[in-house]
Amino acid sequence: MLGETAQTLLGDVFERPDLFAEATPIRKRIVAWGADRTPLEFPHSSVVVSEGALLDRIHQAIEFTESDRPTSRATRPAEADWTIFASRPLPDGVVVHHFGSRQARASEVKLAAGAARNACWVESLDAGWLFLLPGGHAGGQDGGWLLSVGGPVDSLLGQSSLVAKQISEIGAPSDEFPCHPRIADPLSQPGWLICGTAAVGFDPLCGDGAGYATREAILASAVIRAAMQGGDPAALASHYRNGILAGFRKHLFASLEFYRQGRRGPWWDQQRAEVERGLAWCAERLKGAGSVRFRLEGFELHALT
């Protein structure tokens, strides 16, 4: 699910204002969060689109030429040789720091007859939370996806007074996957950067992951371009590191409010403590970062004078 800001950013980057024309619109968010289980309804403006469908539409907008094809390492000048790590293995000495151990499962569902097809639902429970949105494949217009975080799916649905009512059928859940905040350290050195999910993992509860990843990629490409044009590689790598750290810290601040308000009890206490530990870690890493030495304008990074 992508919000308006992420939609606009991706449309601008790929020069496709119609990029999400065929996506499923979400116009309201229905939330039962915290000790008071009374559902609240809020206006919303997002779309639901699968990764595969979005990539197909992006690729339709890109015309590749021979100059776009990667050259071999042997033909590239050594001084312009930068590596972007978007998956493991990461460079020697890099450690991934985890702030929590939350696991999630995704299940394809069929929405109940009375469930709105333009809404999403979020509900906090004693030991986890549920997130339901339309857009599944097998159920056609009645299809949807359920994300369950914390306890087993059946256990969470058994406690649910909001989300469970919107579901008529549920498929087998996927294998568990981590959904807690995590970040690689260091994120950059002269000659290489870590980008994408290899660099940062967001909590899906409040993370605009696709939009953040797009901004991260813009910054990474601008850093490498500036270095190839004669910029100081060490200063540029430091600028990238500090920018990603600042974005990660902003995400943790947003997450903390959700986990403060979610529920009371051991599970929620643990989640809050882990987010607070992450904020303390970020503060320590950003201590002494100094003043900003570069400004991003469009896709170009310029040194401040």
Domain ranges of the chain: 2-49+103-178, 83-101+179-303
Residue 89 scores a pLDDT above 50 = yes
Within the chain, where are the H helices?
4-13, 51-60, 153-159, 209-228, 233-262, 266-286
55-64, 172-181, 185-194: range with lowest mean pLDDT: 55-64
DSSP count for the chain of H helices, then E strands:
6, 17
Per DSSP bridges, beta strands 103-111 and 188-189 are unpaired
pTM of the model: 0.90
Q: Is the pLDDT of residue 24 over 80?
A: yes
The CATH number of domain 2-49+103-178 is 1.10.287: no
Among 52-61, 69-78, 227-236, name the one with the lowest average pLDDT.
69-78
Confidence of residue 46 (pLDDT cuts 50, 70, 90): very high
Q: Under a CB-based contact definition with an 8 Å cutoff, are residues 222 and 109 in contact?
A: no
- The overall longest dimension of the chain from CA atoms, in Å, is 64
Per-residue confidence band for 73, with pLDDT thresholds at 50, 70 and 90: very low
Q: How many CB atoms lie within 10 A of CB 3?
A: 16
CA distance 150 to 81: 43
Per-residue pLDDT at 141: 80
Sorting pLDDT into bands at 50, 70 and 90, what band is 22?
A: confident
Name the most confidently modeled range: 64-68, 72-76, 220-224, 260-264: 220-224
d(CA 150, CA 130): 9
Amino acid code (one letter) for 130: L
What 3-state class would DSSP assign to 39? coil
Task: Answer yes or no: is pLDDT of 217 > 70.
Answer: yes
What does the block give as tokens for 258? Answer: 């959700």
